[in-house]
Amino acid sequence: MRSLNRRKKLLLLTVGMGVVFFGIYGLGILIPEEWVAGSFLSARQPPSLAHPFGTDALGRDLLLRTLKGLSVSTTVGLIASGVSAVIALLVGIAAATGSRWMDGAISWLIDLVMGVPHTILIILISFAMGRGLKGLLVGIAATHWCSLARLIRGEVLQLRSQQYVAVSRKLGKSSGWILIYHLLPHLLPQFFVGLVLMFPHAILHEAAISFLGFGLPPEQPAIGIILSESMGYLSAGLWWPAVLPGLTLVLLVLLVDNLGEQLQSLFDPSSAQE
Amino acid sequence: MKFWKFQKVFLAALFLAALLTACGGRTGDEGDKEEQGGIRDSVVIAIGSEPETLDPTKGWGHGNSPIVQSTLVRYTADLTFENDLAATYQLSEDRLTWTFTLREDAFFTDGERVTASDVVFTLETAKAARGSVDLTYMEEAVALDEQTVAISLSKPTSIFLNTLASIGIVPEHAYSEDYGRNPIGSGPYQLAEWRPQEQIIFTANENYYGGAPAIKRVTVVFMSEDAALAAVQAGEGDVAYSSATLGKTLVKGYHVEAIPSADNRGFTLPMAPDEGKTTENGAPIGNDVTCHLEIRQAIAYAIDRQLVADMVLNGFGRPAYSENDGMPWNNPEVKIETDLDYGRKLLADAGWQDRDGDGIVEKDGVKAEFTCIYPAGDSVRQAVAMAAAEQVLAVGIKIHVEGVSWDEITERMFSHAVMMGWGSSSPNETYYLYRSQGALLDDFYNPEGYESEVTDHYLQAAMEASTAEEANGCWQKVQWDGSVGTAMKGACPWVWIVNLDHVTYVRDGLSIGEQPIHGHGHGLPLIQNLEEWSWEDQTGAER
């Protein structure tokens, strides 16, 4: 390993984490529905070799259900944070390059959305959209773009006052040309890091809202559902349906969070060459 | 909703803690009495749901005794009747007029005597309220004198005593709009305090004509089943309503009583094909799979009910073959044996075959699969539905189980199977479940759309019967008369699966009397015989 410099190590680590993450994701998607169905004859079994995570009150294998649930949650997280990041990018650029009036309006909107607690806003939106996957996606996407939008807006404002942008403008380049050739290349690292760091938020919110019963329907294997079902059996001594899937969720979120930080230090010019 | 549940657990714990401190304080005042007697005279009961009202004319006590009020007649533990407020009663020759003579020693807790005019007032109010008490067939009630009341009916009605047994008599002089929150009655208990969403406290009616009850103070708190179990594990509360899934947990100082109930669970299966029809409210009617008799019966024969009761309900349940197993008006003929081969044969004879090898049978391009809905959050219904779905897969029928809200069930129950529950200590439930007039109404009784002239004929005959025995014979024929009926081997509108036991944690040393078979309800049926409860020895008095 000595031959590798820090940047290469970091790159390997990041790729490794990415592989683990997409491995879990792919595994979850590949598991057929029938496997998760289980049998009521094997209900409430503690962890064993046959069922490493045990089985729940309906006899479903919790390891399979957790993996399946993680892939559902990941899909929700990816789509919601992707949409959210794109909104943030567009809104951020619009605010910084548009008129003063538009900037004011967008800043006000950002303050407004950030002023309401996320969970409550997601519950309201999800409820209004008739719950289910759609409501959850829209709810998460509509609430998570604010801080990234604000960051991008600041970045664009700063970039616009740079010399080379002013020179381009004097040379007669259009705003669109400047946006594509000067602004976007600078914004992309911010965008991707923001996207990755938004993902754990999205996934945790998905689990929280489903846990509270406003998100996915109860048959869907999602982590929030598994956890909220396990609540009813905690007092009867069934610890494994709560602890093991919960831990898995925490590990996945930590993994992605760490991945985001690695990406940041790779992309960020000030730390990229360390 | 989960959020509230969680909060409730917390609140309940806090509240119980506060309550017990309060109780501790009170024992100081009442200490003398308790030490002399050596036996506690109060209980704390945790049940699942709060009553909406304590007004019998608006539904309180429907299906079980109202404890604050008393009724003209009441059920015995074996579901026959004994006199309560009535000293004697008789039925006229034409079976249209009932005459009741009231006992003379019955007083409301405000000291006024219970008179015939109170009975008249109660019945007329209940009839006008059109609540859960159906008195549409009552012509009028007349007070002949202070102690005698004559009730005339528009048609002979054999279940009239069942109806009377669930209507507590309210005082005419003390009845107002908020009676449901401030009831005065002549029952064994009186309401001392009601804090909505928290608790109701009943105290014994010392002047009760049936003798003052042994338990003087009853606190009923409302909490979810898992919160109640947590409370019991902490040694708080004396009686806690629980569920089959939690009942296996052993708690020191408590024992589990599994009280048999008519509280049943089963599938309602839409009987009409989907022809695009809708109800008045626009809910679609009909299902192209469950409309076939052989499908419904194959499901009925494929389910191993004992296995479901043992595995899903932890043994706290029994196989169900009808809406009223074990009642005097149940027909033992409704019982069927699990028989997968017979189920497969039924399907094959009707032309259902698995042609594409996926394990599911088809006929005329229709796959034998459909969705069964249940109220999301009801873990017992979910578990029963999923276990049943797993079993019927063996005959080639696929049931998708989906949890939805009650609102959605109201919209989808005419076109989807529903994991439904009923159960009552009165045969009139059979009447509502199967009468043609009640088909496809929003009241959850007959969402499958069962209609049959033969059944209507027997139902009518049962209602008009002059004796309970005669009526029971007719009720039995509704289910199976030898060739047709509502039973699963008949038209099979329902596939009944299990009767739930009402699992209850009871502190050692407390006797909860001889519980009658419970109807459908979340813990309320438990308190209907409160006056029979007592502490047996001193161990229960220790805190």
- The confidence score (pLDDT) of residue A274 equals 62
**For B51-82, what is each residue's pLDDT tens digit?**
888 999 888 877 677 889 999 998 877 778 88
Which whole number is the average pLDDT over A22-41?
86
Query: In whole angstroms, what is the distance from residue A163 CA to residue A165 CA?
Result: 5
Handedness of CA B377, B379, B384, B389 (dihedral sign): positive
Would you say residue A87 lies in a domain? yes
- The confidence score (pLDDT) of residue A270 equals 73
Three-state SS for A163-201 is HHHHHHHHCCCCHHHHHHHHHHHHHHHHHHHHHHHHHHH
Please answer yes or no on whether A40 and B308 come within 8 Å at the CB atom: yes
Name the nearest CA neighbour of A231 among A11, A7, A56.
A56
Q: Hey, is the C-beta of A4 within 8 angstroms of any chain B C-beta?
A: no
**For A186-229, what is each residue's pLDDT tens digit?**
888 888 888 888 989 898 998 898 888 888 888 788 888 899 88
* Among candidates A39, A213, A237 on the partner chain, residue whose Cβ is nearest the Cβ of B390: A39
Query: Which value does ipTM take for this structure?
Result: 0.76
Mean pLDDT over all residues of chain B?
87
Please answer yes or no on whether B226 and A58 come within 8 Å at the CB atom: no
* Among candidates B6, B376, B383 on the partner chain, residue whose Cβ is nearest the Cβ of A40: B383
- The confidence score (pLDDT) of residue A267 equals 81
b (16+ CB within 10 A) / e for B64-89 = bbbbbbbbbbbbeeebebebbbbeeb
Query: Does the pLDDT at position B274 exceed 90?
Result: yes
Query: Which residue does chain A place closest to B229, by CA atoms?
Result: A235
How close, in Å, is residue A218 to chain B by CA atoms? 6
Q: Hey, is the C-beta of A242 within 8 angstroms of any chain B C-beta?
A: no
Structure tokens at B446: 């007959």
How close, in Å, is residue B203 to chain A by CA atoms? 31
How close, in Å, is residue A206 to chain B by CA atoms? 15
CA distances from B376 to A176, A246, B174, B408 (A): 52, 22, 42, 10
Q: Provide the CATH number for the domain around residue A133.
A: 1.10.3720.10
**Which range has the top average pLDDT, A161-165, A188-192, B202-206, B401-405?**
B202-206
Please answer yes or no on whether A236 and B402 come within 8 Å at the CB atom: no
Range with the poorest average pLDDT among A9-18, B200-209, B517-526: B517-526
Confidence of residue B466 (pLDDT cuts 50, 70, 90): confident
Range with the poorest average pLDDT among A235-239, B144-148, B347-351: A235-239
Query: Does the pLDDT at position B3 exceed 50?
Result: no
Query: Which residue does chain B place closest to A217, by CA atoms?
Result: B403
Query: In whole angstroms, what is the distance from residue B523 CA to residue A23 CA?
Result: 48
How close, in Å, is residue A119 to chain B by CA atoms? 12
Alpha helix positions (H), chain A: 6-30, 33-37, 62-97, 100-115, 118-128, 132-143, 146-160, 163-170, 175-178, 184-212, 223-234, 240-267, 269-272
Would you say residue A31 lies in a domain? no
- The confidence score (pLDDT) of residue B380 equals 87
Residues of B in contact with A229 (CB under 8 A): 379
| Structural domain boundaries, residue A197 | 6-26+54-269
Domains of chain B in sequence order: 1-19+39-50+196-260+501-537 (3.40.190.10), 55-175 (3.40.190.10), 264-500 (3.10.105.10)
Please answer yes or no on whether B226 and A233 come within 8 Å at the CB atom: yes
Q: What is the pTM of this model?
A: 0.81
**For A35-63, what is each residue's pLDDT tens digit?**
887 888 888 889 999 899 999 888 889 99
- The confidence score (pLDDT) of residue B34 equals 42
- The confidence score (pLDDT) of residue B18 equals 47
Confidence of residue B29 (pLDDT cuts 50, 70, 90): very low
Query: In whole angstroms, what is the distance from residue B214 CA to residue B206 CA?
Result: 10
Which whole number is the average pLDDT over A84-111?
89
What are phi and psi for residue A155, nearest 5 degrees? -60, -45
Interface of B with A (CB under 8 A): 1-3, 5-6, 225-227, 229-230, 233, 245-246, 248-249, 307-308, 311-312, 376-377, 379, 382-383, 386-387, 390, 401-404
Q: In chain A, which among 96-155 make CB contacts under 8 A with chain B?
A: none
Name the nearest CA neighbour of B307 among A38, A57, A41.
A41
- The confidence score (pLDDT) of residue B24 equals 40
Would you say residue A33 lies in a domain? no
| Angle at A184 (CA atoms; ends A180, A190), nearest 5 degrees | 175
- The confidence score (pLDDT) of residue B23 equals 42
Of all residues in chain A, the percent with pLDDT exceeding 90 is 29
**For B139-160, what is each residue's pLDDT tens digit?**
999 999 999 999 999 988 888 9
Kind of pairing between the strands at B398-404 and B254-259: unpaired
Please answer yes or no on whether A58 and B402 come within 8 Å at the CB atom: no
Confidence of residue A3 (pLDDT cuts 50, 70, 90): low
Query: In whole angstroms, what is the distance from residue B406 CA to residue B404 CA?
Result: 7
| Total domains present in chain A | 1
Query: Does the pLDDT at position B15 exceed 70?
Result: no
Query: Does the pLDDT at position B405 exceed 70?
Result: yes
Half-sphere exposure of B71 (CA within 13 A, CB side): 28
Range with the poorest average pLDDT among A76-80, A89-93, A234-238: A234-238
- The confidence score (pLDDT) of residue B220 equals 94
Of all residues in chain B, the percent with pLDDT exceeding 70 is 91
Q: Hey, is the C-beta of A81 within 8 angstroms of any chain B C-beta?
A: no
What are phi and psi for residue B62, nearest 5 degrees? -65, 120
Query: Which residue does chain A place closest to B225, by CA atoms?
Result: A232
E strands present in B232-321: 239-241, 254-259, 264-268, 317-319
User: At residue B168, what is the residue type?
Assistant: G
**For B295-313, what is each residue's pLDDT tens digit?**
999 999 999 999 999 999 9
Give me the residue label for tokens 């909490």: B223
* Among candidates B246, B382, B402 on the partner chain, residue whose Cβ is nearest the Cβ of A235: B246
How close, in Å, is residue B390 to chain A by CA atoms? 7
Q: Hey, is the C-beta of A37 within 8 angstroms of any chain B C-beta?
A: yes
Please answer yes or no on whether A236 and B226 come within 8 Å at the CB atom: yes
Chain B interface test: which of A33, A34, A39, A40 (most B C-beta within 10 Å): A40
Query: Does the pLDDT at position B537 exceed 70?
Result: no
List the strands of the sheet with B97-102, edge to edge: B86-91, B97-102, B148-153, B138-145
- The confidence score (pLDDT) of residue B80 equals 82
Residues of A in contact with B307 (CB under 8 A): 41
b (16+ CB within 10 A) / e for B147-171 = bbbbbebeebbbbbbbbbbbbbbbb
Which whole number is the average pLDDT over B447-466?
93
Mean pLDDT over all residues of chain A?
87
Query: Does the pLDDT at position B263 exceed 90?
Result: no
**How would you classify residue B116: left for phi > 0, otherwise alpha for psi between -120 and 50, otherwise beta?**
alpha
Would you say residue A48 lies in a domain? no
How close, in Å, is residue B236 to chain A by CA atoms? 14
| Angle at B489 (CA atoms; ends B488, B493), nearest 5 degrees | 35
How close, in Å, is residue A202 to chain B by CA atoms? 19
Query: Does the pLDDT at position B126 exceed 80?
Result: yes
Which residues lie below 8 Å from residue B453, measured CB to CB, with a gap of 6+?
A: B436
Query: Does the pLDDT at position B273 exceed 90?
Result: yes
Name the nearest CA neighbour of B506 among B527, B520, B486, B492.
B527
* Among candidates A39, A213, A219 on the partner chain, residue whose Cβ is nearest the Cβ of B2: A213
Which whole number is the average pLDDT over A7-23?
88
Range with the poorest average pLDDT among B28-37, B112-121, B495-504: B28-37
How close, in Å, is residue A16 to chain B by CA atoms? 38
Would you say residue A84 lies in a domain? yes
